Chain A
Amino acid sequence: MKMALKFGYLIERDEGDKVVEYRPTVVPTDLPNLAYVEGPNSSGKSTLLHLIAAAFYGQKLKKLDEGLKAKVAAFVDPSHQRTTFDVTLSNEDGTLKLVARKENADSAEIVVEEFKGTRRKLMTSESFERDYRLIYDIPNDPTQRLLYLIDEVTQLQAARAASIAGFRRRVDDILREISDARDPKRIDTLKEVLGKQDAELKTTKSQMADTEELLVTLRRFHAVRALTETLSAAETVDQSLRQAKKTQKKSDRERKKVSAETSAALTGLLNNCRQLTVLRDETIPVLKEVTDRKDLSKVDAWRSLDFIRASSELEFPSVLPSLIADFRNRLREARRNPTYGAELERAEVFAELARTLEKFSQFNEPIPGTGKTIKEMIHALEDQSRQNITHLRLAQNLKKASDAIEAIHKLVNETGVLFATARKAPRSPEHFQATGEEDDEPDDLVERLTKEAEELMTRGSEQEAQCVALDVNVEQLDAELAKLEAQVELAPFRSYSEGQLVEAISEREVECDRLERAAEKLTRSHAVTESELAKLERKEPHAFQDKVEVLNEVKVSAMRMEQRLQREYHQFAGDLRHGKPLPGRPDAAKYADAIGAYLGKKIGRLRHVDQEYTVERIDMVKREVITGESKRILLADMGTGQSQSAYLQALLGADDGRKIIALFDEVAMMDEKSLSPVYARMRELRDEGKLLLGIVVQRADALTVKAI
């Protein structure tokens, strides 16, 4: 018989009256790896088991019964006794050897070494427990202790949950590594974004250049037209002033009384003619718009009408009625165009839509059905709205010009009556002096016109300076105006009034600012995208780059498993352990079946009364064993020896890959028949290389040691 266990020890124990030394004297110090030892009390049987347990860190084993653990700890505790020992354990073929030594009797230190061939490894309690499973048990109350096996399952469940958590964390790490690695899809997306940003930047810059160019042209147009109008007004005022001064001079010389009626007519017709000049000037931009190119000479004739002169000649130029009639018709025709109303509505709706969308301009996804992003939609709506506004302005100006023509028509008729009254007077109008309270009127008029002329002069100087600053040749003002009016981009603004032009310029200035800011922002975004792309292109691709979806699936499953093991299954194990009924749910029933089958397999076979059975499963709820022969045996009905046998088999049944050292003490209730399945299992495990040492100890009157 090959001996696997060799040991020696010396215990010095102070027993009060003397220090007693103990050495192995009865039990042999060489034992086979499966040994049955029986003997009387104090023969050293339990000491042998304590020695082996202590040599292989049994005192640190969490699962060891507390009473036994205290005994093992005391065995090596210098305050209790001074112990030294030397234990050597080898496997069948000698390829594995464990050596445990305690050389210092005054210290608890134990040194354990593992030898595999020529390789030597120092084993700490942790590394030993990782590779070896020490079972040390006294199967007292085995039926109850069978339930303790569920504790082992609970611990294994926690260990599995921890392993799954570790695995899930690794999957998380891989997903992070992938997102940090070179991602071809992300690169494509970034390139696409970069392309869009390029195009948008180009469009924005082009819009900005166009708007700036239009702004310059508009400013020139505004300045040239304002100066032209001021000069024209100045000329009218100048004519009026000359005439007023002439009247004043002659009236000083020839003070004649005229009738109040004639005097009122003379004053009224001069005022009317000045008002006609103003109204006429207002209509000119619009009339240019509605008059065909071939008839533009009519607009020139309209512009040349000298109403101040008419006031002195007491008659209007003969062409006036036909011009009024012609322009009334043209304006009426233009206003009949039905698109103006629709344009107004469109302008309002688009402007409102653009304002609403502005709130979501950060959302950069295309809007379904349009293929445009919100920003692009806003730009398109604003463009459209601007175009509509020019139409709207034209519609407003047409109305204004029509009103002016009607006012001119009315004034011309009224003034005609005044001309008739004035013609009846004995002298030419410049010879008349108003009577009574109106005596001073020519003086007031001269004063007022002089002041007006000065104001116009000042305004004209400022406007001229502005024109020069805008590079306008003020010597060729008419030619400059004609050139500007011929420009296509100014077409929508030709009919604009002074105020509308100022507003249009202000709008373009705001638009230029907006476009400039947009271009700056786009440039920054473009730089960020470029930098991210360059960074990404420098990286190496990840092996699982296109496996993100399946990795996420694995991660979700692992999380679910982890939670189930830690919550539901942990709870079910606890309930079974303490004899509580499980909740009436399918997962609870499945768990009870699974754990019952597992415990059944762990026990394997058992004897009951006088027969041996194969255990199919254990119903932990009903506390009964179900055998392969469909026999149901209540745990409570099993004999102590039989329960011990079932319990020991269950202890040996757990296979977690570690090599087993099994020590069973006081199997007193077990007869040969009960022990035989335990022995069979031990031999089986030894032959599979899983059991390194198995010692079964029994109390008897005489010492017997035999191989199992």
Chain B
Amino acid sequence: MSADPLSQFFESLFDEDLEREIMKGIVDGLSNDELVAKLVQRLERR
């Protein structure tokens, strides 16, 4: 969970890990391609 209250708010709106990861990436200001790469890597590790 992010430290910033706004990020916390948005992350807490979603239950699934993948959704939280997407929201965190958006809040952290990752570019779309960076976020895709990060999520693909994470899902591959499952």
What's the nearest-Cβ distance from chain A to residue B36, in Å?
Answer: 6
Q: When the two chains form their complex, are residues A590 and B19 in contact, meaning their CB atoms are under 8 A apart? A: no
Select the residue from A544, A550, A591, A656 with max chain B CB neighbours within 10 A. Answer: A550
Q: CB distance B36 to A590 under 8 Å?
A: no
A653: interface (CB < 8 Å): yes
A551 within 8 A of B: yes
In the bound complex, CA of A615 to CA of B22 (Å): 29
Assuming A550-B43, A553-B43, A554-B43, is B32 touching A598 (CB within 8 A)? no
Interface residues of B in 9-46 (CB under 8 A from A): 9-10, 12-14, 16, 18-19, 22-23, 25-27, 29, 32-33, 35-36, 39-40, 43-44
A163 x B26 contact (CB < 8 A): yes
State whether A160 touches B22 (Cβ < 8 A): no
**Segment of A35-43, A165-173, A206-214, A427-435 in the binding face:** A165-173
- Interface check A519, CB cutoff 8 A: no
Whether, in the assembled complex, A557 has its beta carbon less than 8 Å from a beta carbon of chain B, the answer is yes
A269 within 8 A of B: no
The digit string for A147-158, where 1 denotes a CB below 8 A from any CB of B, is: 000000100100
Q: Cβ of A554: which chain B residues have Cβ within 8 Å of it?
A: 18, 22, 36, 39-40, 43
Chain A, residue nearest B29 (CB): A657
Q: Is the CB of A553 within 8 A of B18?
A: yes
CA gap between A692 and B32 in the complex, in Å = 30
Interface contact B13-A167, CB-CB below 8 Å:
no
Is A597 positioned at the interface, with any CB of B under 8 Å from its CB?
Answer: yes
B27 closest partner in A (C-beta): A160
Closest to B15 in A: A590
**In the complex, how many angstroms separate the beta carbon of B14 from the nearest chain A beta carbon?**
6
CB closest residue in chain B, given A572: B13
B26–A167 CB distance below 8 A: yes
Given A170-B32, A557-B18, A564 contacting B13 (CB threshold 8 A)? yes
A174 at the interface (CB under 8 A from B): yes
Residues in B with CB closer than 8 Å to A653 are 5
- B9 close to A595 (CB less than 8 A): yes
Is residue A654 contacting chain B, with contact meaning CB distance below 8 A? yes
Report if A557-B19 is in contact (Cβ < 8 Å); known contacts: A167-B26, A547-B40: yes
Q: Which of B13, B23, B43 contacts A591 (CB 8 A)?
A: B13
Q: Contacts A550-B43, A558-B22, A655-B5; is A174 near B36 (CB within 8 Å)? A: yes
Most buried by B among A547, A569, A653: A547
A590→B13 CA distance, assembly (Å): 7
Residues of A within 8 A of B35 (CB): 167
Checking A166, A170, A561, A595 against B19 with a beta-carbon cut-off of 8 angstroms, the contacting residue is A561
Chain B nearest Cβ from A603, distance in angstroms:
10
Residue of A nearest to B26 (CB): A163
B37 CB to nearest A CB, Å: 9
Complex alpha-carbon distance, A160 and B29, angstroms: 11
A601 interface contact, C-beta 8 A: yes
Residues of B within 8 A of A171 (CB): 32, 36
Inside 8 A of B18's CB, which chain A residues have their CB? 553-554, 557
Contacts of B33 in A (CB 8 A): 170
- The reply to whether A164 and B5 form a contact with Cβ atoms under 8 Å apart is no
Contact A156 B13 (CB under 8 A): no
- Cβ 8 A contact of A164, one of B9, B16, B26: B26
Contacts of B29 in A (CB 8 A): 657
B40 contacts which of A163, A550, A561, A564 (Cβ < 8 Å)? A550
The residues in A between 166 and 191 inclusive whose CB is less than 8 angstroms from any CB of B are 166-167, 170-171, 174
The distance in angstroms between the C-alpha atoms of A655 and B29, with both chains bound, is 13
CB distance from B4 to the nearest CB of A (A): 6
What mask results when residues 399 to 437 of chain A are scored 1 for a CB within 8 Å of chain B, else 0? 000000000000000000000000000000000000000
Residues of B within 8 A of A657 (CB): 29
A561 and B36 within 8 A (CB): no
Q: How far is it, in angstroms, between the C-alpha of A656 and the C-alpha of B4 when the chains are bound?
A: 9
CB A175 to nearest CB in B, in angstroms, measures: 10
A639 to B40, CA, bound (A): 52
The residues of B that contact A156 with a CB separation of less than 8 Å are 6, 10
Please, how many angstroms separate the alpha-carbon atoms of A590 and B44 in the complex? 30
Which chain A residues in 618-662 approach chain B with CB under 8 Å? 653-657
Check if A602 sits within 8 Å of B26, measured CB to CB.
Answer: no
How does the 8 Å CB contact mask read for A555-582 relative to B, with 1 for contact and 0 for none? 0011011001100010000000000000
Q: Give, as a whole number of angstroms, the nearest-CB distance from A445 to chain B.
A: 101
B42 to chain A, nearest CB (A): 9
The residue of chain A having its C-beta at the shortest distance from the C-beta of B28 within the complex is A657
Which residues from 520 to 556 on chain A have a C-beta closer than 8 Å to any C-beta of chain B? 544, 547, 550-551, 553-554
The 8 Å CB contact of B22, one of A153, A547, A561, is: A561
Query: A376 to nearest B CB, angstroms?
Result: 40
Pair A560/B19 contact, Cβ less than 8 Å: yes
Distance of A685 from chain B, by nearest CB (Å): 13
Tell me whether A166 and B32 are in contact (CB under 8 A).
Answer: yes
Q: Is the beta-carbon distance between B6 and A598 smaller than 8 angstroms?
A: yes
CB of A70 within 8 A of chain B? no
Residue among A156, A170, A554 having the largest count of chain B Cβ atoms under 10 Å: A554
A524 CB, min distance to chain B CBs, angstroms: 40
How far does the Cβ of A317 sit from chain B's closest Cβ, in whole Å? Answer: 96
A594 is an interface residue with CB less than 8 A from chain B: yes
> Is the Cβ of A598 less than 8 Å from the Cβ of B9?
yes
| Minimum-distance CB pairs A-B, first 6 | A601-B5, A170-B32, A598-B9, A550-B43, A594-B12, A163-B26
**B residues lining the A interface (CB < 8 Å):** 4-6, 8-10, 12-14, 16, 18-19, 22-23, 25-27, 29, 32-33, 35-36, 39-40, 43-44
A residues whose Cβ falls under 8 Å from a Cβ of B:
153, 156, 160, 163-164, 166-167, 170-171, 174, 544, 547, 550-551, 553-554, 557-558, 560-561, 564-565, 569, 590-591, 593-595, 597-598, 601-602, 653-657
